[in-house]
Chain A
Amino acid sequence: DQQVKQNSPSLSVQEGRISILNCDYTNSMFDYFLWYKKYPAEGPTFLISISSIKDKNEDGRFTVFLNKSAKHLSLHIVPSQPGDSAVYFCAAKNSGNTPLVFGKGTRLSVIA
């Protein structure tokens, strides 16, 4: 059973509008969450993270929101740009030296 779920395999957004990528998790022990971005023929690139002691973390155009009671996190990109078109992976882990658990990814297409 998947512990990290990204239920939307793809998303299309107009340039300049907001992109919202969603992620759900089942393991209540997860306390650190990350978003990675992946272009074709490249490895995933770390984008932004959030610890479970926070409910929001912002870095420029990227904001991650965490709702622990709903076991849900989301990545907001505003304004969206064509260069944001990529596959976005959500990942989660427990405290300590434990491995990351990844979702299947959501392919974002930003249309000019």
Chain B
Amino acid sequence: ETGVTQTPRHLVMGMTNKKSLKCEQHLGHNAMYWYKQSAKKPLELMFVYSLEERVENNSVPSRFSPECPNSSHLFLHLHTLQPEDSALYLCASSQGGRAGTDTQYFGPGTRLTVL
């Protein structure tokens, strides 16, 4: 596998379920990101991890809980979600560091539907 992979690609869950999204990057990058893409809205940054430490948390509700066990893996744990949380969840990775020209590479996304 190369690039950034995400599983599952599609997920349907009830409001009381607990599920997790998984992201894996094979690019040797040091930074990983979770984004949410809702219809007719810009990509919304949710979380940033650099060298496995969370460096950004954009006021995301606590029902979303990220985990970064190592620089290649990123999880998003979901609990007690609302129907308005239905969206495409995208993972990205980048080299990280202080370089201004830090390009992010995205996975294919997980299409989440909350019933």
What residues make up the interface of A, taking CB atoms closer than 8 Å to B? 2, 4, 31-32, 34, 36, 41-46, 49, 51, 89, 93-97, 99-105
Contact = CB atoms under 8 A, between A and B. Distances in A.
Q: Majority SS of interface residues in chain A?
A: loop
A75 B67 CA distance: 36
B100 A46 contact: no
Contacts, number: 65
A46 B33 contact: no
B108 A51 contact: no
B33 A96 contact: no
26 contacts: A4-B42, A32-B100, A41-B9, A41-B108, A43-B92, A43-B109, A45-B106, A46-B105, A49-B101, A49-B103, A89-B42, A89-B43, A93-B100, A94-B100, A95-B98, A96-B99, A97-B50, A97-B96, A99-B48, A100-B45, A101-B42, A102-B42, A102-B43, A104-B41, A104-B42, A105-B42
